Every structure is written in structure tokens, then in C-alpha cells.
Structure 1
Amino acid sequence: MVFAIVAGMLPFTGAAQAHGTIINPMSRAYQCWKTWGSQHMNPAMQQQDPMCWRAFQANPDTMWNWMSQLRDGLGGQYQARTPDGQLCSNALSRNDSVNQPGAWKTTTVSRNLTVQLYDQASHGADYFQVYVTKQGFNPSTQKLGWGNLDLITTTGRYAPAQNISFNVSLPARSGNHILFVLWRASHLDQTYMWCSDINVT
């Protein structure tokens, strides 16, 4: 129990780890942390949420540090420096569990939705790029590659704030998809990438 409390506090223990993630629709690591962080030893997770269970088995730090999925110095070369199959982890090997296809929990959305970022350190954004998987992509069986995505929008700048939200209109889609969001933070050449599992109705 003590370990769970201490580990759960890790994302908040210093500026180096104070970053952010997409909280709606929830990114994969955040969803696992939000749902199971306080009960990560609960055997029910294996049956109720098998992808989170696998992720916790592979590396619990992926969930404890859901705020810290960033890379420095990409210089805008996102596709060239992020291989297919590694988009959901932002090509960070420690977070490879979130690249794995399977029955990830989904957030039900309409074609018009609001994307919400929580950024504890209030970095602001040069921009966000938002993509959605093409119709026919199956997140249960396929790893995500750039060729599976359609770019929906590139936003403008956002001033530093802990909570940033923006509206997105999906093209014609139905069923389970991945919403892929790239955040270029304003304070440094620092890029974040996440996958959020959605069910478009």
C-alpha cells in the first residue's frame, strides 16, 4: 500500500517530470493510471482491462509517469524520427506497452468533440497536430503507423495554462479508432505524442 501511494506521487515530484497528457479522450497510459493506479495489484484488472494489465506488467513506470512522454530536439521531423509501430509511445522504448494492439478501453465520442490537455507545468503550445485512423484500421490487431492516419487539424499557438482544450471535427468515421495527438510545447523543442482510443458513434 505504501509503495502504491509513493509510486502514485512520482509524476508530481519535480520539474523534470511535470508535463502533461491528453485527459479527454484519455491517452492510453493516463487511462490505465486513472483507472488502476490506486489498485494496480488488483487481480481483477487482468480480466476487466487486459491491456492495462499487460502495460503494468511490462513497466509500471509508463503509468506512474503518464505526464512524461516527451522527446527533445526533433526539429519538426516527426515522421522521419518516429518509426511506424512506435507512435503511441513517442518512440520511447520504456513505454512500448502502449504501442501494442488489443482491447484498449475506449471513450465514446461524436464526430464533433473537444480534446483536453492537462499540463501541470503550463508550458503552452506552439501547436497541436491531431490525426485519426483511417476507416478500416483495426486497433485491436494493428500497430499504428503514419500511413494509417489522416491529419485532421493543426492548431495555432496556446498561451501557458494548465488546461487547454480545442474542438475537433472528425471526418466520416464509425466504430473504434485511435485519435493521435502531437503536442509541440512552447518552452523548448519538446514534442509529445499520444494515442487515445475512441468509439465514434
Structure 2
Amino acid sequence: MRLKRLGALAVAALGIVGVTTVFVQSGVAVAHGSMTYPASRTYACYEDGRIGGGGGDLNPTNPACVAAVQIGGKQPLWDWYGNLISLAGGKHREIIADGDLCGPTTKYDAYNLARSDWPVTNLRAGAAINFKYNAWAPHPGRWDQYVTRDGFDVTQPLKWSDLEPAPFDTITNPVASGGEYSWNGTLPNKSGRHIIYSIWQRNDSPEAFYSCSDVNFTGGGTGGDTVAPTAPGTPTGTASSNSVALSWAAATDNVAVSGYTVYREAGATDVSVATSTGTSATVTGLTASTAYQFYVVARDAAGNTSPPSALVSVTTTPGGTTPGACSVTYNVPSSWSGGFTANVTVKNTGTSAVNAWQLVWDLPAGQGITQAWSADVVVAAGKATAKGASWNQNIQPGQTVSFGFNGSAQGTPTNPTSFALNGASCATA
């Protein structure tokens, strides 16, 4: 099919740059992202697979997601944020054929399956909504959200003519915070099953992203839910060396509270660290003997969010050797005036898997990090934190992961003196 060939060539044109920059959130050329609320098919199936996999492999249980994996494998789920055409240049209707809208390249073709059992987000017609869109690699651009026409049949391939001719929501350059874009909008007055089709066209590149979100509209009419939940109660926390278990009193809402987001206070930009549909959550990947502050925000099904709860301050306990017993090999294969390249290998020397690994170290004086690969590396308050990518985020006992970065330095670069993996101190090799 003409479109599939075009999409495959466009993705291939990214070359090694596309492979590398997936894992870096700053200074990259390629964007990545997908709608997370209401959930796109790839994101919904990734979450379904993550739950079914018990924190290790992805094993979806939703029938449509299972069928998609049988056709296209699991890699599109690990790469749920990469449903793109790199050379689209705004010519979406010209280069994407009818029936291919939800997966315009061969890799994501299985997500075009015309089925009625994809994971569905329930929405109230005409309501206010706070759209959420993953910002794996933030870039400026325009987002257009279309909805299917009345009478749309989800069991038939999605065609351009199935969409309303104009988007019901458009946003240019929404704010990205905590790893996602969010913006407020108003849902269309629809009823029953529909698809919300989102197109993100970058304005600094011809690259464009596409997502299909399966939704069910209830209520109808024009009186949407615009009332936000009340603030949750002040959280309480119980700490270990690398995690904090939080609980709080429930918020109230005129319709119903659909979930909560836990934030860690981090100066100018707070960080979303956990979500829950109940009144408790565990925040992992913390550093031993470190003070943290958290608060909780409630949300309802229409996307209204509550005022934040009061802060809770928690200090993690001193680190031990389990379950994150580890060793780190750090070497600098090359350096130059003002900069250097470093390679890092992390080994799990314990008896339990280290899931969602994070390696933290103090940057030596005068050093910075400008680019990374095979991990997401950020620097704050003199500490560097490396997080595993989707394909290497867990380390089994006896196994290793490796990543690297380019850094800046004043004079000859010196090696860090200590490392902590998920809060546990590591030996240095």
C-alpha cells in the first residue's frame, strides 16, 4: 500500500538519530508523544499489557490489544509514543489512506483493526476536559482533535470521511510540565461510541504524530460537568530507603472522583510521580536519607482537577545493600577542551530484580551533562539522575544495563565518587 511504503521510508530516514534521541528529553531533533487522556489505543494497550505483565513483560488481556500484539508484536506497545510520519508536513489526508488513520505506518498497522472491544474512556458529552498528551521529547506545534460523525460504526475501518470536517479542539504550543502536555478544552455533544482522532503537527519540523482514542460519550446536552473535586486530605507517608507509601483522605465531587495524581515538590517545576484510582500510592526510585515533599491532586471523569492537598514531608531511611545491591563501572573513553564522553555500566548484584531503575550520583564540580543515550539523564541541584528507557528499565539479578552521555567540564574531568541505584549504594568497579 502506497501509504505504508511512504511511512516506512519516512521513519527509516531518521536513521540512527531516531534510535538515539528517543531516550533523551533535551537537545533532541525528534519528538515523541501520544494522547494519554483520553488514552490512545497504543497507550491504553501498553497500560493493559503492563498490568497483565506484573511489572515485567507486557502481556495485554484486552481482546483487541491481544489481537494487535498477535499481528504486530509487542514493540509498538513499548514504543506507544512513536506513532509518527517524519515527513508529513501537514499533508495528512494526502499521505494517509482511508483505513490507516490509527496506524499510518507498517509498525502500527495492527492498531487500525476495526473492532468494538478496544479499551474505552468514558466521557460526558459537552463537558470540560483537561487533555493529557505525553511529552517524551517536547517540541512546539499544533494539536488538532477531531471526533467521528454521528452514526459512526466502530466495526468498520476508520476513514477521513468518518470524521467531522473541522476539529472540535485546537491548541498551539501547550505547556509541557512533569513529562506531559496538558490543556483545557470542551468535549463535543455526542452520544455513544466514537473515536477522538488527534494530530500533532510540529511547527519546527515536518514530523507529525497520530493517535486514535476510543471513547464512550454519556449524558448528552450542553450542561457538562464543570465542577472540580475538593482537595484531598493531607497525605501521610511511610518511608523505606528508596520508596514512600502515601495515603490520604478522599476528595469529593458533584459526580464522582475518578483518580488522583501524586506530585513531588521540586522547586519551579513539580514532578508527577504516581497515579491512583484509590486513596493510596507508593512512590519508588527515591534516594536514601533524603527529604521529600509530596501533595495530591484529585480529578473527575470530565478532566476537572482539584486544588492540591497540603504538603507532607517525608525523609527516606538510610540505604542498605538490598534489593538494589549493585556495582557501577564508569569510564571516560574520550575528552577534549571543555567536554568529555562517559560510558556507564550498572550491574544488579542482588537476588531480586531492580524495576524502573534510577541511578543517582553527585556531579563533580564544574561538570554538566549535555546529551545522553540509552537512558534519560537529568541534572538538578548538583545531582544527576539516569532512568532506564522503556526497553531497559528493569535489571534482573546478575544482569547489566549500559548507557552513555556527553558532558561539559572545566579542566580535566574527574569521575564521580559514589552511586546509588534506587536508593541503595553501589560498589564502584
TM-score by length of 2: 0.40
More strand by share: 2
Determine if contact 2:22/2:137 at 8 Å carries over to the other structure. Answer: no
Aligned to 1:104: 118
Percentage of pairs with the same residue: 29
Higher RCO (CA 8 Å, separation ≥ 6 residues): 1
One-letter identity of the residue aligned with 1:99: N
Pair 1:26-2:42 in alignment: no
More helix by share: 1
How much has 1:180 moved relative to structure 2?
Answer: 0.3
Runs of 4+ in 1 over 4 A off after TM superposition: 11-18
Pair 1:41–1:80, CA change in 2 (3 A): closer
The structure 2 residue matched to 1:172, chosen from 186, 189, 192, is 189
CA deviations over 1:170-197 (Å, ceiling 9, x no partner): 3321111100000012442110010000
One-letter identity of the residue aligned with 2:206: D
CA distance in 1, matches of 2:65, 2:122: 18
CA distance in 2, matches of 1:81, 1:133: 20
The structure 1 residue matched to 2:199, chosen from 153, 167, 182, is 182
Aligned to 1:130: 145
In the comparison of the two structures, how many residue pairs are matched? 185
CA distance in 2, matches of 1:93, 1:175: 30
How much has 1:107 moved relative to structure 2?
Answer: 0.4
Structure 1: any 5+ residue segments left out of the alignment?
1-10
Moved more, 67-76 or 175-184: 67-76
SS for the counterpart of 2:168 is strand
One-letter identity of the residue aligned with 1:83: A
Q: CA RMSD in A?
A: 2.4
The structure 1 residue matched to 2:135, chosen from 110, 119, 122, is 119
Alignment of 1:5-154 (within 5 A): 13=23, 19-37=32-50, 39=53, 45=61, 49-59=62-72, 60-89=74-103, 91-102=104-115, 103-111=117-125, 112=127, 113-124=129-140, 126-139=141-154, 141-150=155-164, 151-154=167-170
SS for the counterpart of 1:177 is strand
One-letter identity of the residue aligned with 1:135: D
Determine if contact 1:132/1:170 at 8 Å carries over to the other structure. Answer: no
Structure with larger Rg: 2
Structure 2: any 5+ residue segments left out of the alignment?
1-20, 219-429
